[in-house]
Each structure stands twice: as structure tokens, then as C-alpha cells.
Amino acid sequence: MNVIKLPVMRLYKRNNGAYYVEIRRGQSKSLKTKDKLLAQRLFKQIEKEALLGRLIQVDRKAHISIEDFSNEYVAHREKNKASNTTRLDQEALDKFADFLGGTTLINVISRKQCDEFINHLRKNALKPTTINIAIRHLKAAFKKAVEWEYIDKTPWEYVKQLKLKDTLPRECNKQEIEGLLSAISIQEDRELILTYLYTAGRRTEIARLQWQDFRENHGEWMIHVRESKTKTRIIPLAKYLKELLFYRKKHIGPVFPSCYDHPKEVSKKFRKYADKAGLKNVKLHDMRHTSATFMLLKGVPLKIVSEILGHTTIKTTEIYTKLIAEHLRDAINTLTF
């Protein structure tokens, strides 16, 4: 009688936290998970396969969990996406994993569970805008899971974003801006807020501005605004902003050291000064809206404003034309004869 000698296998965890199966001495396979219970289940399955004389394979497509996929996806995105983008990736995936359970396999997630997750967020009083951000990031994540052949079809494919009220962007008038600037006592903070106004930049773009982002080309100074790790947009440096900042210009380093590592702190600073100036319901992002509106009122073409703002489509910029219409209406109503 021929005796088939099966390899002595063992399950073990490496220093990186991932579980592996040693099939025979010197030959190991990663289970692609850091979850102990899932690793033990997979190990038992592999042992059964070995007893049946089948080829031992670890089919990643069949067992990657939402938690493990999240870690791998965010690590991949960190290579070429802005930190704020990957932060939103992580937050969306963490919320979804908490709702489903981190060990839930991504190939068993249904469209119904996606809908239930959205209802869960709504019950927790999250704003529709915040929920839509999560939906967008989850759609992108699961689309990548299809590309990586972890799943055949994304459960998020037909999930629609929530409908939002058609509200106009909040802009500040000249008097409000003057009041805001008067409330700022710290020079660097004043320069920071004025930089937002003179560039129409996003929070992280300006908070992480570096001196080497200012570049001269044939006598004209330009700002290379970094939208992500691989994408920049170039906008002219306003003459007043150059005079405001260049007295302390350096060759390299952050322009605003106090907030470079913590862009969220800018919003807190702004809120403090806005409260002091008596400006209610005004956010840092409204400085961007204000800049766009002022440029359009000065006759700057919509396409140019769209390029300065870094909008991927001019349709996004068109909402400001409604604000301009309001200004025109107010102007015509000043006529008295």
C-alpha cells in the first residue's frame, strides 16, 4: 500500500501583521489578511484541500475582507493622490467597514447593503453633502477592486448620490471682508487669509504652499498650486500678494509654517476671526466663492475663472453666474428717476 505523505503545514503571523501558511519548509503563501479568525478559517480550508489531494491555492479573490482591501487601496492611493483625498478615502471605507464588520468579504457585499449603509448615515444626522462625498469615494474604491479582479462587479455601480437643495455659494461683500481682516491681529494669519482671497485656492492647497511653488517666467511670477501629488495648476501671482508675502521670501520651505502640517487648523483660525468680526455662517471655503464672484463681476471670462479655480468642468463654475445675476438685479434696482 502506497502511503501519501502530506506536507506538514503551519499557520503563522509575520511582523507586518499578515498571516501566512507554510506549506513545506521554505515555501510559504500569504493569506493576504491580518484577521486571525479569517486566517484560521482559510488555513482549515487549505488543510482540507491538501487531504483531498487537490492543488493548494490561495484564491485572494474569494477571501479579501473590506478591512484588508481598505488598507491596500489607501496605500495605493497615497502614492499619487493628495493627502486630503486619501483621508476621505480612509474615512469612507472605515465607516463602511464599521457598518458591515471589518472581516466582511468584499465579494459578498450587496447593493442592498450599500443602500442600508446610506440610510444608516442619514439616521446618524450626517449632512447630504458629507454622505455624497462618502458615496463618491466608495464608488472609486470598489471600481478599483473590479480592476484588481477582487470582485466581478461593484455593488456601488448603480447607487446614486443624494439630491441636494439648489443653494447658491456663500460670498462675502467688500465690507464683510474688511471687517474680517480688521479682526485678525496676527500678521501671518492676515497674510494667510489674503492669500486665499488672492488665489481662490482650496484649504490644503494654500496651507501647504511652499516658497519653491513661486516661480518666475520671463519677468512674470506664477504660483504652481499642487492639487495632488501628480497634478498642479498654474495661476498668476497677484501684484498685491507678491508685495504682501515677498518681504519674507525664502528659497524653500513652507510659506505658512503654523498650518503646513495641520491644514484643518486654518478653518479653526478662520472661524475664530469670523466670529470676532460678527460674520455668521461664513466658512473658509467662502473665500474661494468670494474670489470667483469678484473676478466675474470684474468681467473675467468664465473659462478663465474656471481654470484659476481648478474646476475639471466649466459646468461647476457656472453656478457663480447665478450670483452675478443677483448682483445685476440689485444694480438695476438702484435706478430711480
Do 36 and 76 lie in a common domain? no
Answer yes or no: is 25 within a domain: yes
Report which of 186, 166, 205 is spatially closest to residue 287, judged by C-alpha positions. Answer: 205
The answer on 255 and 312 residing in a single domain is yes
Q: Could you say which of 94, 129, 147 is where a domain stops?
A: 147
Q: Give yes or no for a contact between 317 and 302, defined as CB atoms under 8 angstroms apart.
A: yes
Please list, residue by residue across 36-63, b when 16 or more beta carbons sit within 10 angstroms of its beta carbon and e when fewer do: eebbeebbeebeeeeeeeeeeebeeeeb
Residue ending a domain, among 58, 74, 90, is: 58
122 and 201 housed in the same domain: no
One domain, residues 215 and 294: yes
Query: Which pLDDT belongs to residue 319?
Result: 84
Question: Residue 229's pLDDT is what?
Answer: 74
In a domain, 323, yes or no: yes
> Do 197 and 320 sit in the same domain of this protein?
yes
Residues 219 and 300 in one domain: yes
pLDDT at 44 exceeding the cut of 90: no
CA distance 165 to 318: 16
Shared domain for 52 and 70, answered yes or no, is no
- 226 occurs within a structural domain: yes
Residue 144 has pLDDT above 50, yes or no: yes
Is the same domain home to 108 and 37?
no
The pTM for the full model equals 0.66
Do 143 and 88 fall into the same domain?
Answer: yes
CATH number of the domain at 111, please: 1.10.150.130
C-alpha cell belonging to residue 71: 488598507
Grid cell 456601488 — which residue? 156
Residue 17's domain comprises 10-58
Is residue 4 one of the residues assigned to a domain?
no
Grid cell digits, residue 46: 487549505
Considering the domain architecture, whether residues 92 and 39 belong to the same structural domain is answered as no
Mean pLDDT of all residues belonging to the chain: 87
CATH number of the domain within which 307 lies:
1.10.443.10
Kindly state whether residues 220 and 321 are assigned to the same domain: yes
Alpha carbon 126 to chain centroid, angstroms: 17
Tell me which long-range contacts 267-275 makes (C-beta under 8 A, separation of at least 24): 267/203, 269/189, 269/192, 270/193, 273/180, 273/183, 273/184, 273/189, 273/193, 274/180, 274/183
Please report, as a single letter, which amino acid is at residue 135: I
Task: Check residues 3 and 205 and name the one with the higher pLDDT.
Answer: 205
Q: What are phi and psi of 218, to 5 degrees?
A: 55, 45
Q: Please indicate, yes or no, if residue 90 is contained in any of the structural domains.
A: yes
Mean pLDDT confidence for 223-241: 89
In this predicted model, what pLDDT tens digit does every residue of 63-101 receive, in sequence order? 789 999 999 999 999 888 888 889 999 999 999 999 999
Give dist(CA 303, CA 309) in Å, integer: 10
CB atoms within 10 A of CB 27: 11
**Mean pLDDT across 171-192:** 94
Q: Is 83 contained in some domain?
A: yes
- pLDDT tens-digit map of 262-292: 999 999 999 999 999 999 889 999 999 999 9
Same domain, residue pair 189 and 292 = yes
Q: Are 262 and 256 in contact (CB under 8 A)?
A: no
pLDDT for res 231: 83
Label residue 53 by pLDDT band (50, 70, 90): low
| Total tally of structural domains belonging to the chain | 3
pLDDT of residue 56: 43
Express each pLDDT in 18-38 by its tens digit: 888 887 665 677 887 888 888
pLDDT band at 62 (very low <50, low <70, confident <90, very high): low
Q: Residue 55 above 50 pLDDT?
A: no
Answer yes or no: is 160 within a domain.
Answer: no
In a domain, 77, yes or no: yes
